[in-house]
Amino acid sequence: MTGGQLEAFARSDLAAAVLMERIVRGAYDTRNSSEIQPLQWSILRYLDGFAEDRCTLTLITSFLGLTHAPVSRAVRTMRDRGLVRQRSHPRDARSAIISLTDAGRSALELDPIRKIALLLGTLPDGDRNAIKRALRSIEIELAS
């Protein structure tokens, strides 16, 4: 492969990565601060997918790969909006269990990422499986 071919290949890989970013950003079509923000959607999805005893600020923060402060602010905002509730952890007085309210569960029905999942579901099985394998491989590499 020539230098020009390698450069074109790298550009097409960059273009694919930018396309992934645009797809995800495009799913979040509202930019209003009163709307549920992307981090808050991630937290709602986490709470919906994990057992209640795994729904502490520390574990959510670790799973999302973020620092404590932004996750704590997001949870506080979500609590104030009635999407989540917090209660004392029965085995650890220093932490709280965070759980979805009925409003939080209802909000998840409007999760923008579901749009992408629904579109993925319309792809032929081979394409859909190839995308999932590729994304898992990328995630593993980024995590290492």
Q: What confidence score (pLDDT) does residue 30 get?
A: 64
Task: Supply the pLDDT for residue 133.
Answer: 93
Q: How many domains does the chain have?
A: 1
- Domain with residue 89: its CATH number is 1.10.10.10
User: Would residue 96 count as lying in a domain?
Assistant: yes
**Residue 45 domain flag:** yes
Exposure pattern of 34-71 as b/e (b: 16+ CB <10 Å)? eebbebbbbbbebbeeeeeeebbbeebbeebeeeeeeb
- Domain span at residue 95 reads 17-111
Residues of the chain with pLDDT > 70: what percent?
90
Q: What is the pLDDT of residues 26-79, one digit of tens each?
A: 888 766 656 899 999 999 999 999 999 899 999 999 999 999 999 999 999 999
**What pTM does this model have?**
0.80
